[in-house]
Structure formats: C-alpha cells, structure tokens
Homo-oligomer: A and B are copies of this chain.
Amino acid sequence: MSQEAQILTFIIVVSLISLGYAGWLASWVLKKDMGTPKMQEISNAIKEGAVAFLNRQYKTIISLAIVTAIIIFGIYYGVQNDAALAWKTGVAFIFGSFSSALAGYVGMHIAIRSNVRTAAASTRSLNEALKVSLRGGAVSGITIVAMSLLGISILFLLYGGLSNPTHVPYMLVGYGFGASFVALFAQLGGGIYTKAADVGADLVGKVEAGIPEDDPRNPAVIADLVGDNVGDCAGRGADLFESTAAENIGAMILGIALYQHFGLDGILFPLLARAFGLIAAMFGVLIVKTKEDGEPMQALNKGYYLTSILAAIGFYIATDLLLNGNIWFFYAGLVGIVTSILFVYITQYYTEYRYRPVKEIAESAKTGPATVIITGFAVALENTVLPAIVIGIALIMSYYFGLKGSALEMANNPAAGVIIGGGFFGTAIATMGMLSTSAYVLAMDTFGPITDNAGGIIEMSDQPEAIRKKTDKLDAVGNTTKALTKGYAVGSAALAAFLLFNAYLDDVGELMQKSKHFIGQTTQQIYALSHTINLADVHIFVAGLLGAMLVFIFSSLAIAAVGKAAYSVISDVRAQFKENPGIMKGTSKPDYGRTVDIVTKTALKKMVLPGILPILSPIVIGLIFREFGFGPQAVAGFIMVATIVGVLFAIVLNNGGGAWDNAKKYVETGALGGKGSDAHKAAVVGDTVGDPFKDTAGPSLHVLIKLLATVTLVMAPLFL
C-alpha cells in the first residue's frame, strides 16, 4: 500500500472511529434516566412534533433533490457529452444530499432524547445535566463532521482519486452541492418553523393572553419547543455539514495547483487536517465537567480551548506529513484558528449585556419600542466593522503565507515548476484551520436547544424553583453558545466562500483548457483569463449589482415567511382559546398537535421559494450573460458580491437579533424597571423583531453563500 493509500485509510478509519465514538456517547446518554412521567409526556410531544416535521420536510427536499439530480445529469450529459462524468456528478449529488440528511436525522434523534434526560439529570446535579446535554449535542457534532469526511473520502477512492488525483476532486463537487442543497432547505424550513412558533406563541400568549413563556395552557408551546430542535439543531447541523464538505472539496481543488510539488499529498491534506480536528473534538468533549456551583460556560470554554490546541497540533503534524513540513502553510492554518477565536469574542461583545452595545439598546427602551428598534438597528449595522476587518486581514495574511510557502517549495525544488495559485491554497488552509474545531463548536451549538428544551420541560412539569435555576443557568449558557456558533458559522462561511469561488475559477480554467476555443494558449494565459473578474466591466458590475440584490430579496422572503407562518400560529391559538374556554382555566388541555401541524405545513410551503431562488439565479445569470460572451465571469461577479453582502448582512441580522434578545433579558434582570415595566414591553418588541433576523434569515444566508458557490461549481459547464 502506498503512503497515500495508507493516509486515506487512516482518514477513513478516523471517521469510522468517530462515528463509533458518537454511538458510544449516544448510548451513554440514552442509558440515563428519563425523569417523571410528566416530563416524559412533554418530551414525547416534542419528539413527535420534531419527527413529524423532519419526515415531511425530508419528503419535500427529496423530491426537489431528485429533480435536481436529473437536471444535473442532463446538463453534464447534454452539454459536456460525458456520460461517465454525468453519472458521477449526479450520484455524488444524491450521496451528498443523503449524507447531509442522515447526519441531521441522527443528530436530532439524539437531541430530542437528550432534553428530557438533561431535565431529569438537573434534579440530581448540575454537572450531570451539563454532561448529558453536551454529550447529546456532541453526537450531532461528531456525526456530522465524520459523515462529511467519510463521504468525501469514499467517493474520492471510488472515483479513482488515487490514480487520477488532479481530476477526481472536480467530480466531487456534486457532493458539496448536494450537501448545500439539503442544508439550505433544512435551515430555511427549520428557521421559519422555529421563529414562526416562537413569535406566534409569544404574541398570542405573553402579549394577548398574558400567560408566561412555556406555559402549558398555550397551544403553541410544544411547537415552540419543537422549533428549537428543527431550527437550531437540524438546521445548523446541515449548515456546518455542508461547510465542512464544501470546504474539503474546494480545498482539494485548490491543492491541485501544488500537484507538481506535493503530488497527491497536497490534495489529501484537507482530509487529514479534518481527521485530526475530529480527534481533537473527541478529547475536548470528554474533559467538560463542572462543580455544583460552577460556571458551565467556563467548563465549555475549557473544552473549546483544548480542542483548539489539539487541532493546532494536528495541523502541524498534517503539514509535516503531507506538505514537506512547510511552516508557512502551518501559519496559514493558525490564522484560521485565531480568526475563529476572534469571531467568538466579537460576537460576545456585541450580543452580551455586559457590554456597551446591548446596554445602549436596553437604555433606549425607556423611550418606547420605536427607539429600541432604531438603536438596535444602528448597533446591528455597526456590528459589521470588526468582522469585516478580521476577515480581510485573515484572507490577506493567509494568502501571503500561501505565497511564501509556495516560494519556499519552488526554491527547494525548482525542477517541479512554477506554482500558480499558491496564495489561494493559503486561504484554503486558513479555512481548514477555522473549521478544524467545527465538531466541538457544533456540539456546543446543539447543547443550546437541548438545554432550552430541558428548561421548558422543567417549567411545564412544575419542578421546584432550585431545579429551575439550574436549567435556567444552562439555558442562558445555551443562548450564548448558539450566538457564538452563528458568529463562527458566518466567519467560516466567508473564508469557505472565498475558497470555493477560487475553486470555481480553477474549474472554469480547467474547462477552458478542454475547450477548443482556447487551443494554443498557455496554462498561465488561461489561468489569467479565467481568474480575472473585472468589476469595471459593465457586465460584471451589473451581475454584481444583481448578486447584492439577491441577498436582500432572499432575506426579505425568509423574514416575510416567518411573519406569515407566525400569523397562522396566532390564528390557530386564538381559535383554540375560543373553541375550548377550558384551556385558559386549566381544566382542559389544548391540542398541541394541531398547532404543530399547522406550523409544519406553513413553514414547508414557505421555504420553497427562497430555497429555489439562490439555486436558479446563478444559472439564469450565467445563461443570460453567456449571450454577451461573459457567462463564467458574470456568474463569478454575481456570487462574489453576493458573498460580500451576504456575509455582512448575515452578521447584521444574527448579532442584531441576538442583541435585542439580550437587551430584553437585561431588562428582565431588573434593570430599567424590570419585567412588566414599559421599558420591558418595548424591549420585548425588539426581541420579537430580532427573532426572524437571527434564527431564520441570518443563518440561511450562511448557507446561501456557500450554496451559490457549489451550484456554480456544478453548473460551470453551462456558462462557457
């Protein structure tokens, strides 16, 4: 077995061990006690709703995916006239969609079983509750990352990557597109569901009927708890599944540029780095524990730092094994790891009420809801400054490290020839660095809905105050980790997108070399031609303008969908209160299932249009501008400007929403008059406005950014 085959085997083995580890975590969690019958009853209601939603959602997604797979096959078969490539791309797409869906399913399967066990554990000790919830979340995190790694490794092997490594990565793009495809719908559908249920439950419960949050008399309360799972857990899981998948494939494509120097090793490097990241996360999860009066966030942070350090060490080993120990490439990876930590800090500053921004929003609640919105919106926009600067510095630094690393290789081995695109390989390595902790981050993220649910179960099953305090503590930490994950996801989306559209441009160059129109041009000339996206050209400028517009209309559709779906919840709850007056008196139970059913239907209906838009629009742009002779370049301009605007606008929406949420929580701590005051009422308006921003439109934009890149990678042959 060649060294490369050994490494690929090692990667596959690590993926399988990780899946085994996730299985072990799952059985550890499932063995835990399930609490009182009352708790189980509530948990079962949540479980039922979540499973029903996921089943129906997957049904919709599968039918859309099959149509898309046929179209992809048709395009490759018709345009490229290459039956083998058509089959491979189509199958990769199906396989990618399927893996993403399966990973989401498994993660949620455990999450909706961890909630009640966390609730039960909290009656015993904080440490046990923390462990159950984090390990339940880690099943999701580890499974997702391991599945994505396994899928790509197997496809690479099956498609003959060991013998034809410079072409096979292009055949994998279908896998990335499949993953993004499912991710977009999962995030959109889940995001619409969760916020429609949340907003609807709040408006009709807290505002109209005057009952507290998670009150069992509210018919929308189960829908709200289901929403946490299908939105935060399944949605973000799919988001990061596709991040890691698409980024792996993109980085492999960029690695081709260094083939003369590293051979297959440069192409396998992303996979090995990811495998080490998985190992790091497994250790990180295990060390998390807390004392009864401890601070759970600190415990989680400890695990995060351990994971980061181990991932950095793994990175170093991978560089040593596969990239001739070139220190510059290791530095590029470090840039990514540092970027992820900076993003976590920036997100905290802008969304926690210990700091100025959220305090300012809360202060403005004194003059009513209008000023809360005005101030909050100003803060949300201000949010873009630091992330933009950090991303900018990270891209430029890793680019120059990539150039330096390439120069070093060329100096050491001049015979192997000139490296073109070594700078972009540097940015790809930074992206890998940033994503190397993704399994752990995802575990922290899924910890969020589990503890949120546990809190709801405790509340609804009338547990004593002391236990509620414990789950409240965990719930608050969960809110923070959810916000941090979004910051992490958007930062990595920015880097991943940059990597992906460079992969797209490489792909275009590859296609140009095959095309008869470019015969006689040197590799350098074709590279320059395919990698020049001249924004001063009127076609590219207009395409860019349309790309920016796409971000706005997509956000508009996502936000409007929540409004409409929430309205369906409100109508149903009002009808239930009217039909059955016993509900409010507490003498009869509301029909939770009916509300769950209605919000499921509306959310799935409303996810289709915003979901199809980003898939079709680059294709339409490509076909229109092909008529002017600018197909591939216009598409590139379109997705690049969309990426820039999408990343920043996602930050506006995510952190703005998070800040409003916490401004309300700040008032609820007793500041500015506390709960029930006019300031609180004003802050609640801000919180409600922020809901669809931070949990529907914002996170969906992360996926959109990467989907645009993967759809163009797959559709590239159409545009030439």
A207 contacts partner chain B, Cβ-Cβ < 8 Å: yes
Q: Which residues of chain B have C-beta atoms less than 8 A from A549's C-beta? A: 384-385, 388-389, 648
A413 contacts partner chain B, Cβ-Cβ < 8 Å: no
**Chain A 368-399 per-residue mask, 1 if CB under 8 angstroms from chain B, else 0:** 11110111011111101100110110011001
- A640 and B541 form a contact (CB under 8 A): yes
- A559 and B636 form a contact (CB under 8 A): no
Given contacts A379-B556, A505-B536, A538-B423, whether A546 and B685 have CB atoms under 8 Å apart is no
- Of the candidates A399, A545, A548, A641, the one having the most CB atoms from chain B within 10 angstroms of its own CB is A545
A231 contacts partner chain B, Cβ-Cβ < 8 Å: no
Q: Which residues of chain B have C-beta atoms less than 8 A from A534's C-beta? A: 531-535
- A562 and B640 form a contact (CB under 8 A): no
- B391 and A545 form a contact (CB under 8 A): yes
**Chain A 335-373 per-residue mask, 1 if CB under 8 angstroms from chain B, else 0:** 000000000000000000000000000001001111101
- B388 and A538 form a contact (CB under 8 A): no
- A652 and B392 form a contact (CB under 8 A): no
- B381 and A685 form a contact (CB under 8 A): no
- Of the candidates A368, A377, A541, A555, the one having the most CB atoms from chain B within 10 angstroms of its own CB is A541
Residues of chain A from 481 to 534 with CB closer than 8 A to chain B in the complex: 498, 501-502, 505, 531-534
Given contacts A374-B562, A391-B545, A545-B388, whether A532 and B536 have CB atoms under 8 Å apart is yes
Q: Which residues of chain B have C-beta atoms less than 8 A from A399's C-beta? A: 538
- A542 and B640 form a contact (CB under 8 A): no
CA gap between A505 and B541 in the complex, in Å: 14
A552 contacts partner chain B, Cβ-Cβ < 8 Å: yes
- B538 and A688 form a contact (CB under 8 A): no
CA gap between A427 and B541 in the complex, in Å: 13
- A685 and B538 form a contact (CB under 8 A): no
Given contacts A538-B396, A549-B388, A685-B369, whether A381 and B559 have CB atoms under 8 Å apart is yes
- B685 and A370 form a contact (CB under 8 A): yes
- B545 and A540 form a contact (CB under 8 A): no
- B395 and A541 form a contact (CB under 8 A): yes
Closest residue on chain B to residue A554 by CB atoms: B381
CA gap between A647 and B640 in the complex, in Å: 17
A539 contacts partner chain B, Cβ-Cβ < 8 Å: yes
A7 contacts partner chain B, Cβ-Cβ < 8 Å: no
Find A382's partner among B379, B544, B556, B688 (CB 8 Å cutoff): B556
Q: Which residues of chain B have C-beta atoms less than 8 A from A150's C-beta? A: none
- B688 and A370 form a contact (CB under 8 A): yes
CA gap between A386 and B329 in the complex, in Å: 46
Find A644's partner among B384, B505, B539, B545 (CB 8 Å cutoff): B545
A560 contacts partner chain B, Cβ-Cβ < 8 Å: yes
A570 contacts partner chain B, Cβ-Cβ < 8 Å: yes
Find A368's partner among B207, B395, B423, B544 (CB 8 Å cutoff): B207
Find A395's partner among B380, B505, B542, B555 (CB 8 Å cutoff): B542
- A374 and B689 form a contact (CB under 8 A): yes
- B203 and A384 form a contact (CB under 8 A): no
A199 contacts partner chain B, Cβ-Cβ < 8 Å: yes
Given contacts A370-B199, A556-B381, whether A395 and B538 have CB atoms under 8 Å apart is yes
Given contacts A548-B645, A644-B641, whether A692 and B539 have CB atoms under 8 Å apart is no
Residues of chain A from 400 to 449 with CB closer than 8 A to chain B in the complex: 423-424, 427
CA gap between A396 and B540 in the complex, in Å: 10
CA gap between A689 and B207 in the complex, in Å: 21
Q: Which residues of chain B have C-beta atoms less than 8 A from A652's C-beta? A: 552
Q: Shortest distance in angstroms between A155's beta carbon and chain B's nearest beta carbon? A: 28
Q: Shortest distance in angstroms between A636's beta carbon and chain B's nearest beta carbon? A: 7
Residues of chain A from 549 to 602 with CB closer than 8 A to chain B in the complex: 549, 552-553, 555-557, 559-560, 562-563, 566-567, 570
Q: Which residues of chain B have C-beta atoms less than 8 A from A371's C-beta? A: 203, 563, 566-567, 688
- A427 and B544 form a contact (CB under 8 A): no
CA gap between A374 and B377 in the complex, in Å: 12
- A388 and B563 form a contact (CB under 8 A): no
- A502 and B536 form a contact (CB under 8 A): yes
- B548 and A648 form a contact (CB under 8 A): yes
CA gap between A628 and B556 in the complex, in Å: 39
Q: Which residues of chain B have C-beta atoms less than 8 A from A636's C-beta? A: 535-536
18 contacts between A and B (CB under 8 A): A369-B369, A373-B685, A374-B688, A378-B555, A378-B557, A385-B549, A385-B553, A388-B545, A395-B541, A396-B542, A399-B538, A498-B541, A502-B536, A531-B536, A535-B540, A544-B641, A545-B644, A644-B645
- For the A-B complex with A382-B552, A427-B538 known, give 18 more contacts whose Cβ atoms are closer than 8 Å: A203-B367, A367-B570, A369-B685, A374-B562, A374-B688, A375-B560, A377-B559, A378-B563, A381-B555, A384-B549, A385-B552, A388-B548, A501-B536, A502-B536, A532-B536, A535-B636, A541-B644, A548-B648
Q: Which 6 A-B pairs have the closest CB atoms?
A: A381-B556, A370-B688, A378-B560, A388-B549, A392-B542, A382-B556
